[in-house]
Chains A and B, each alone.
Chain A
Amino acid sequence: MSPRSDPGALSRPDDHIDSPEPSVEASVTQPKLGVVGWLRFAWRQLTSMRTALLLLLLLAIAAVPGSLVPQRSSDPNGVTQYFADNPNLAPVLDGFQMFDVYTSAWFSAVYLLLFVSLIGCIIPRTKHHFDALRARPPRTPARLARLAGYTERALPETETPDAAIDRAAADLKRAGYRVERYELRGEPSVSAERGYLRETGNLVFHSALLGVLVTVAIGGGFGFAGQRVVVEGQSFVNTLAAYDSFNPGRFFDDATLDPYKLELTDLDAVYETQNQEALGQPVDFTATVEITARDADEAVEGEVKVNHPLRAHGTDVYLLGNGYAPTITVENAEGEVVFTDAIPFLPQDANLTSIGVVKVPDGMPEQLGMIGFLYPTQTTLDSGAYASTYPDLVYPVLTLNVYAGDLGIDGGTPTSVYTLDPSTMEQLTGGDTGVDSIELMPGETQDLPNGLGTVTFEDATPEGLPNAADGDYSHSVDRFASFDIHRDPSQGWVLVFAILIIAGLLVSLFIPRRRMWVKAAKRADGTVVLEYAGLARGEDPGLDDAVGSFADRHGGAAPHVGSEASESAGDPAKPTT
């Protein structure tokens, strides 16, 4: 295949296997390049197939460290732990952005270079592909015998060479080929090409990759992700202030938050009770919610489950966690209620042993803090320690350690509602104090130490159901749901590009691009023979068969003539050379 007769070759990068060997001349003249020449040279290097390949491999390697070391984006606690465990190594790794691999300068550099290379590859190829789409199929080569699937048939006696070629052209056209008639030295021929979709698919594929990158990079900036914990019976309104944590994208505008109200009416957790191998394993979590639009009076009921987010008012609501939120009431020595609230306790293990913190800032002589442990189904270990043996509420026990002093919340520094810093406080119960921890079951009240007042673990069972007083604890503690609320306007576009990627890939890998020629060739003795041959453009395992079966249809079954008597018969794909 000579470079000139093959416009398709130009649409590939220089070192594409399809394209001709780079000529020696070109490389000899290279040292005399000027600045522009060097730039062009660099650009040609960058957009070459070999560079793309190396960058791809580099990208694969660069992605590895992010799976070995915890990442701030997906596992912030893991990072903290890593720093604690490896105090010397961690800062060094951090210097190399090892905890933010996928946003690091070096990782970004690799993929950005790759995508620049990709752009530099797509643009010229698209242009050449357009040209190829409009170009005539190339001139029939002088000697077909050297090409793939070459075979010949006798010219039917009733047909002129021209008529036979016309018929071939019509047949090929019907088979989806673009055809062009040629005539060289009195030998009529038809040149046909098909499978332009292959290159189209390839270009769609590569462009869609670019599409994904751009949408993720830009589109993602318009979204947000927020977390909010909601206890059964409580609600929250979709405003910035209502979120426990909120991560806006770069271009996010608070004003676009639609202030709908979401109330958690019920959180249903189902655990395995039959299968002995899996007792207590979670089987289902369903959060039933009511959503009220900004101006509406009527609430709409909805459901959020794992794997089934709720799409509401331009946001997606996910159920990412749940747990217990015991309602605790504190009265002071005068019998005034100084605190009452349902407090989310964070689960610590599969059986939902949970830890929570009660902070009573006002109404007491000193600020009061309590660290509580909730055991949904309490048991006492041999060591005397408490544990939970089942995640559901069979025998719930709450223990509280009480601290008095400064809660550290007055200074204005934000503190987590889930942690208590007892360093500035005096411990009143548990630990080394010699005073037993307070221990409560739902519906029970106990005195606080030092006559400070009382604390109650409220029975939250709704009216009408058997409650703790009846010995049924199954509804005695409220649950909370931890919702993730997101908006990602780029998501739909990413999906569209993903579909294009798959479609382009299928088309470009499975549609063969091939050329076929039929020529009425004159032999030295004056007879005319029909010659058939093909040329693969890229991977095309079926080419020989295609040429053979076309020849059979057009010129009749393969003749058993010639010297190859030994050729194994019945294999149309094989050329009868």
Chain B
Amino acid sequence: MTLDDISITLVYSAMAVYAIAFIAYAIDLARRSAAATKAADAAADAVTPVPTARAGVGTPATVGAAAAERGSASSVGGPAPTTAGPAASVRPAQDGAGRGVDGASIAYGRSPSLRVGVAMTVLAWALHLAADITRGLAAGRVPWANMYEFALTGTLVITTVYLLVLVVSKHDLRFLGTFITGLVLVLLGIATVNFYVSVVPLPPALQSAWLVIHVFVATSAVGFLALGFALSVVQLMQARRESIVASAKAAKRSFLATLPDSATLENLAYRVIIIGFILWTFTLMAGAIWAEAAWGRYWGWDTKEVWTFIIWVVYAGYIHARATRGWRGSRSAWLAIIGFSTVLFNFTVVNLFFKGLHAYSGL
């Protein structure tokens, strides 16, 4: 068995474990919907006893109903899923009475399936990492020099960023696992089935330190932008739910009730996206420096350059939207979603169907 065979075996193992993680996360989401319904029903009974609206601010006890579950929630430790807390602390001044029973996040308590999901993600990540490293060893160079390898390393980075954010963030973002493992699974699947190539030597155009830097930074950027995309999607769903709740129509009980509010999601999305944006800015510049060395000009509107530029401008638009009255909130979330669509487009359609220098057909 060659190193590359080992790598492939590891990729398939990682995919299997990602699939298990995905299922666990999906079960968790289903449980969340159930919890939300239960909480809402209980809230309907408890709504009179809740003393004043003001109690709504900092304490999970707001949601009268959630009180029952609260005992277990705060005892979990770690990233406690008392989502109401952080959400409220963002804007303690404004919130006040506005957040009725329905609008508030619902404390959701311990979830075994969520923990299984995270544990499986960590395991899949380890296998994935091993697969990536063995591929690199087999090739005797960094494992990101063709479509298959971009996908292999890029998805690894997406998982890494997700796990990293779980550790760093004050918020419990494990619920994004469904999206992340789903995305990684799909991309890895497509890559291994459609793009796999055996290890071949680097064409002269790719023999450069910039391959290591430029491509790696680009993949890292994609990792952050993917997370920002996921958060923005949830933000939109959450905003929709909030507006339904606010208009006092009967809100459907969904898992969203257990997640941070849309403003918090927007802030989180913004934070990961600006990191992605800075990395993308660097990608663009490093690419230009490399192009200067390889093709004799730092910018020539090659198709890949065009799309790198478009992505950059769309995200610059996103950042401006966040700072523009009337564009904050859902509109800027849409820009983040469009932005990530252009990223995916750039990676798939542009790589496969557009003609350009990045095709590396040799000298």
A: residues with CB less than 8 A from B are 15-18, 21, 49-50, 52-53, 56-57, 59-60, 63-64, 66-67, 70-71, 73-75, 78, 101-102, 146-148, 150, 216, 225, 272, 275, 277-278, 281-285, 305-309, 316, 318-322, 350, 484, 486, 488, 491, 494-495, 498, 501-502, 505-506, 509, 538-539, 541, 544, 564, 566-568, 571, 573-575, 577
* Least Cβ–Cβ distance between B12 and chain A, in angstroms: 21
The answer to whether B267 and A78 have CB atoms under 8 Å apart is no
**Residues of A contacting B274 in the complex (Cβ-Cβ under 8 angstroms):** 509
**Residues of B contacting A148 in the complex (Cβ-Cβ under 8 angstroms):** 92-93
Add 16 more A-B contacts to A50-B325, A277-B197, A541-B267 (CB < 8 A): A49-B323, A50-B326, A52-B320, A53-B320, A60-B310, A78-B355, A148-B93, A277-B200, A350-B362, A498-B285, A538-B323, A539-B271, A541-B271, A544-B89, A568-B85, A577-B58
The answer to whether B296 and A306 have CB atoms under 8 Å apart is no
Give Cα A256 to B325, complex, Å. Answer: 53
* Least Cβ–Cβ distance between A502 and chain B, in angstroms: 6
Proximity bits, B278-310, A CB within 8 Å = 1, else 0: 100110010011101111111111110011011
* Least Cβ–Cβ distance between B353 and chain A, in angstroms: 10
The answer to whether A308 and B293 have CB atoms under 8 Å apart is yes
- Taking A17-B323, A75-B355, A486-B296 as contacts, is the C-beta distance between A275 and B201 under 8 angstroms? yes
Tell me which of B298, B299, B322, B363 has the highest count of chain A C-beta atoms within 10 A of its own C-beta: B363
- Taking A495-B289, A498-B285, A568-B74 as contacts, is the C-beta distance between A74 and B300 under 8 angstroms? yes
**Residues of B contacting A498 in the complex (Cβ-Cβ under 8 angstroms):** 285, 288
Q: Which 6 A-B pairs have the closest CB atoms?
A: A278-B200, A306-B204, A318-B296, A60-B313, A67-B306, A56-B317
* Least Cβ–Cβ distance between B70 and chain A, in angstroms: 10
Proximity bits, B78-112, A CB within 8 Å = 1, else 0: 00001001000100110000000000000000000
Interface residue B324 (Cβ < 8 Å from any Cβ of A): yes
The majority secondary structure among interface residues of chain A is: mixed
- Taking A506-B278, A539-B270 as contacts, is the C-beta distance between A285 and B326 under 8 angstroms? no
The answer to whether B363 and A285 have CB atoms under 8 Å apart is yes
**Residues of A contacting B355 in the complex (Cβ-Cβ under 8 angstroms):** 70, 75, 78
The answer to whether B58 and A567 have CB atoms under 8 Å apart is yes
Give Cα A501 to B285, complex, Å. Answer: 10
The answer to whether B296 and A63 have CB atoms under 8 Å apart is no
Interface residue B328 (Cβ < 8 Å from any Cβ of A): yes
The answer to whether A49 and B89 have CB atoms under 8 Å apart is no
Question: Residue on B with the closest CB to A102?
Answer: B301
Question: Residue on B with the closest CB to A56?
Answer: B317
The answer to whether A284 and B200 have CB atoms under 8 Å apart is no
Give Cα A309 to B328, complex, Å. Answer: 47
The answer to whether A309 and B296 have CB atoms under 8 Å apart is yes
The answer to whether B350 and A67 have CB atoms under 8 Å apart is yes
Give Cα A283 to B323, complex, Å. Answer: 50
* Least Cβ–Cβ distance between A80 and chain B, in angstroms: 14
Give Cα A284 to B270, complex, Å. Answer: 44
Give Cα A501 to B307, complex, Å. Answer: 20
Select A16's contact among B281, B296, B316, B325, beta carbons within 8 Å. B325
**Residues of B contacting A509 in the complex (Cβ-Cβ under 8 angstroms):** 274, 278
* Least Cβ–Cβ distance between A490 and chain B, in angstroms: 10
Interface residue B348 (Cβ < 8 Å from any Cβ of A): no
* Least Cβ–Cβ distance between A563 and chain B, in angstroms: 11
Question: Residue on B with the closest CB to A283?
Answer: B201
B: residues with CB less than 8 A from A are 57-59, 61, 74, 82, 85, 89, 92-93, 197-205, 207-208, 210, 267, 270-271, 274, 278, 281-282, 285, 288-290, 292-303, 306-307, 309-310, 313-314, 316-317, 320-328, 335, 342, 350, 354-357, 361-363
**Residues of A contacting B354 in the complex (Cβ-Cβ under 8 angstroms):** 67
* Least Cβ–Cβ distance between B218 and chain A, in angstroms: 15
Give Cα A486 to B297, complex, Å. Answer: 9
The answer to whether A56 and B316 have CB atoms under 8 Å apart is yes
* Least Cβ–Cβ distance between B27 and chain A, in angstroms: 29
Give Cα A544 to B89, complex, Å. Answer: 9
User: Can you list 21 contacts pairing A with B, beta carbon distance less than 8 Å?
Assistant: A17-B323, A21-B325, A52-B320, A53-B320, A57-B317, A57-B335, A60-B310, A60-B342, A63-B313, A67-B354, A71-B301, A73-B300, A75-B355, A282-B363, A305-B204, A306-B294, A318-B296, A320-B296, A501-B285, A573-B89, A577-B92
* Least Cβ–Cβ distance between A497 and chain B, in angstroms: 10
The answer to whether A74 and B302 have CB atoms under 8 Å apart is yes
Give Cα A506 to B281, complex, Å. Answer: 11
- Taking A17-B324, A498-B285 as contacts, is the C-beta distance between A63 and B309 under 8 angstroms? yes
- Taking A53-B321, A59-B313, A63-B310 as contacts, is the C-beta distance between A494 and B350 under 8 angstroms? no
The answer to whether B281 and A501 have CB atoms under 8 Å apart is yes
- Taking A491-B292, A577-B58 as contacts, is the C-beta distance between A306 and B201 under 8 angstroms? no
**Residues of B contacting A147 in the complex (Cβ-Cβ under 8 angstroms):** 93
Select A284's contact among B204, B296, B303, B323, beta carbons within 8 Å. B204
Give Cα A502 to B288, complex, Å. Answer: 14
**Residues of A contacting B357 in the complex (Cβ-Cβ under 8 angstroms):** 74
**Residues of B contacting A272 in the complex (Cβ-Cβ under 8 angstroms):** 200-201
Give Cα A567 to B203, complex, Å. Answer: 63
Select A53's contact among B204, B324, B362, beta carbons within 8 Å. B324
Give Cα A255 to B270, complex, Å. Answer: 53
* Least Cβ–Cβ distance between B343 and chain A, in angstroms: 13
* Least Cβ–Cβ distance between A113 and chain B, in angstroms: 14
The answer to whether B205 and A306 have CB atoms under 8 Å apart is yes
**Residues of B contacting A538 in the complex (Cβ-Cβ under 8 angstroms):** 323
The answer to whether B301 and A74 have CB atoms under 8 Å apart is yes
- Taking A350-B361, A574-B89 as contacts, is the C-beta distance between A307 and B59 under 8 angstroms? no
- Taking A16-B323, A306-B205, A322-B363 as contacts, is the C-beta distance between A281 and B295 under 8 angstroms? no
- Taking A16-B323, A541-B271, A566-B59 as contacts, is the C-beta distance between A491 and B298 under 8 angstroms? yes
Select A309's contact among B93, B207, B293, B361, beta carbons within 8 Å. B293
The answer to whether B92 and A575 have CB atoms under 8 Å apart is yes
**Residues of B contacting A275 in the complex (Cβ-Cβ under 8 angstroms):** 199-201
Give Cα A539 to B310, complex, Å. Answer: 25
Question: Residue on B with the closest CB to A78?
Answer: B355
